[in-house]
Amino acid sequence: MNLPQILKEQLLYTIGPAPKEITDINYDSRKITNNGCFVCIKGDNTDGHLYIEKAVLQGAVQIIGDKQVVMIENAKRYTDVQFVLVREPKKALALYSSYLQNHAHKEMSLIGVTGTYGKTTITAYIWNLLNSSEIKTGSIGTAGVWDNNSSLTLHRSTPTTPESSDLHAHLRRMRKKDISSVVMETTSIGIDQERLYGLHFDIAVHSNLHPEHLDYHRTFDNYKKAKLRLFEHANVAVVNTDDVGMSKDIISTFKGELWTYGIHHNATVQAKNLKPTENGSCFDLLIKDHQYNIYIPVLGTHNIYNFLASLCVCLAKGLAIKEILPLLHKLEGPPGRLELIAEFPNRKMIFDFSHTPYALDNLLKTIKPIPYKRLIIMITGIGIREKSLRAPIAKAVEGRADEIVVTADHPGNEDPLVIVNDVIAGFELMTENVHPVLNRGEAIKKAMELTKEGDLILITGLCMEEFQIIKGKKVPYHDYDHVKEFLDSSNSQTYLQEVSVCK
């Protein structure tokens, strides 16, 4: 095991005997097994160097860290364990994980998608189109880890961009299935925390840039700089020319092959004459000197942007437009993005991931072509996100729905009552059509209870998650369980009777 070659410039020196083998690598001491390597990473709440003893007792034979005094002291206690001092443990974790997974990423075409909004949908569209074109493609992001056929039941270390040890394990798993391309969401935090360190992307995709995660990045400029780092490690850039947040920064500095897309500004791929329908979107597609009149079964201008981005990726990978056009009728987005729940009788019920004022405004514009009698919307304040967004969420929907249910999402260490009150403070008038409900599952039932035949109900927030973060723990949770529970309960009998009368 040649550590100088594996860890490169990160290695400073080692103390203790080199292990005969390393079976796995982890940053969580609780998951270390015999012959494992434990990487000490300092986080917001704790420091991995505090858990060296636990890792050794769990079976670690190698410890990687950057605190010299702590490493030397422990090396004296555990003389049969190798201690490796490095410059930056997160980068060392990425490099070592790549080595242990046989550098699977080097045998694959990587596509990275970054931006404030649209990452998950763009990733899903790319996955859909490439697999439909018989290019075996996996995906990694908010919607989970997918091979070329379906979602994989795997541990998720983060909501979107996995920690590097998990990411490289996912890539090797896909390579064993002969998957040749992988599209992944690359978040600003994931980039900043070096989860992608050492990876090179064939294509980097930019969607848009708006203020977000400023509780982490502190400034909008820091947020932008993190996003821009993706394009320093890519051969091809796909850029939204209509975005004022970051497009000019990429276009002015990128040295590789450039594809642009947009609606209002000239671009390599452009949509014009948009015509929304009840079930999709019609528009003229311009690609250089050619024009195509097309229909895609997705709603909303923002999703046309997402489609254009995915189309650029397909064209950049060498697919001809004539190969792509026949596939568009079965274009599908990810779960929880304008997802229709068909089981609610005589009503339209949609789950959508919108959880910021900007996204909610877009959503309410998107549903305008859909016919309905009354609109019921459930909005959420999120305990693990910026508090400053809560009141503006209320302002974004006030006066635009007949009934508004307000609840808390992922309360974390906060009191749900405080979160809900923070949102409600954003309403200019607290009227009878605003309904505070502290528990997300109960709020969904309340929103369903408020509906009448012919209504449209929007369930927003962090849909699609399989847990709620409550007091630092991931508590199992699924939105659909509460939908089913309501429909199966005695409270829903009136709705079921309506169905039988209609039949």
- Is the confidence at residue 391, as pLDDT, over 80? yes
Same-domain check for residues 311 and 193: yes
pLDDT in tens, 322-341: 999 999 999 998 888 888 88
Same-domain check for residues 106 and 75: no
3-state SS, residue 445: helix
Same-domain check for residues 370 and 325: no
> In 3D, which of 6, 10, 50, 1 has the Cα closest to residue 28?
50
Single out the residue in 301, 330, 359 at which a domain terminates: 330
pLDDT, mean of residues 276-285: 93
- List the helix and strand counts (H, then E) for the chain: 18, 24
What is the pLDDT, as a whole number, of residue 474?
A: 86
Q: 466 in a domain, yes or no?
A: yes
Q: What is the CATH number of the domain that holds 199?
A: 3.40.1190.10
Contact 350, 378 (CB under 8 A): no
Same-domain check for residues 108 and 251: yes
Least reliable range by pLDDT among 218-232, 307-321, 469-483: 469-483
CA pair distance 10, 371, nearest whole angstrom: 59
For 312-321, letters b (16+ CB in 10 Å) and e give bbbbbbebee
Contact 209, 199 (CB under 8 A): no
Q: What is the CATH number of the domain that holds 63?
A: 3.40.1390.10
Q: 267 in a domain, yes or no?
A: yes
Sign of CA dihedral 203, 207, 210, 216: negative
Least reliable range by pLDDT among 155-164, 192-201, 386-395: 155-164
What is the pLDDT, as a whole number, of residue 496?
A: 45
What is the pLDDT, as a whole number, of residue 465?
A: 77
pLDDT, mean of residues 469-480: 89
Question: Model pTM?
Answer: 0.86
Number of domains in the chain: 3
Same-domain check for residues 26 and 73: yes
Single out the residue in 311, 330, 349 at which a domain terminates: 330
pLDDT in tens, 28-80: 999 999 999 999 999 878 999 999 999 999 999 999 999 999 999 999 999 99
Would residue 115 be called left, alpha or beta, if left means φ above 0 and alpha means ψ between -120 and 50 degrees? left
CA pair distance 447, 427, nearest whole angstrom: 18
pLDDT band at 494; cut points 50, 70, 90: low
> In 3D, which of 313, 379, 303 has the Cα closest to residue 334?
303
What is the pLDDT, as a whole number, of residue 343?
A: 86
Same-domain check for residues 191 and 278: yes
Contact 108, 123 (CB under 8 A): no
Contact 448, 367 (CB under 8 A): no
Select the more confidently predicted residue: 214 or 259.
259
3-state SS, residue 178: coil
- Is the confidence at residue 355, as pLDDT, over 50? yes
Contacts (Cβ under 8 Å, ≥6 apart) of 266: 241
Same-domain check for residues 233 and 177: yes
Same-domain check for residues 95 and 109: no
CA pair distance 150, 153, nearest whole angstrom: 10
Q: 495 in a domain, yes or no?
A: no
Q: 164 in a domain, yes or no?
A: yes
Q: 499 in a domain, yes or no?
A: no
Same-domain check for residues 445 and 318: no
Contacts (Cβ under 8 Å, ≥6 apart) of 9: 87
Same-domain check for residues 65 and 191: no
State both tokens at 151: 């979602």
Q: 501 in a domain, yes or no?
A: no
3-state SS, residue 292: strand
Q: 395 in a domain, yes or no?
A: yes
Same-domain check for residues 167 and 296: yes
pLDDT band at 498; cut points 50, 70, 90: very low
Select the more confidently predicted residue: 247 or 154.
247
Q: 475 in a domain, yes or no?
A: yes
pLDDT in tens, 101-140: 999 999 999 999 999 999 999 999 999 999 999 999 999 9
- Is the confidence at residue 430, as pLDDT, over 90? no
CA pair distance 257, 344, nearest whole angstrom: 48
State both tokens at 403: 């009934």
Q: What is the CATH number of the domain that holds 348?
A: 3.90.190.20
Least reliable range by pLDDT among 143-157, 197-211, 405-419, 444-458: 143-157
pLDDT in tens, 477-493: 999 999 999 999 855 55
CA pair distance 326, 294, nearest whole angstrom: 10
Range of the domain at 73: 3-99
Contact 310, 298 (CB under 8 A): no
CA pair distance 21, 26, nearest whole angstrom: 15
Kindly state the percentage of the chain with pLDDT values over 90: 83
Contacts (Cβ under 8 Å, ≥6 apart) of 191: 114, 161, 226, 227, 229, 230
CA pair distance 9, 140, nearest whole angstrom: 28
What average pLDDT does the structure give for the chain? Answer: 93
Q: What radius of gyration, in Å, describes the C-alpha atoms of the chain? A: 25
Same-domain check for residues 368 and 313: no
- Is the confidence at residue 499, as pLDDT, over 60? no
State both tokens at 92: 């060392």
Least reliable range by pLDDT among 5-9, 212-216, 357-361: 212-216
Sign of CA dihedral 123, 124, 126, 131: positive
What is the pLDDT, as a whole number, of residue 493?
A: 55
What is the pLDDT, as a whole number, of residue 27?
A: 94
Single out the residue in 330, 356, 386 at which a domain terminates: 330
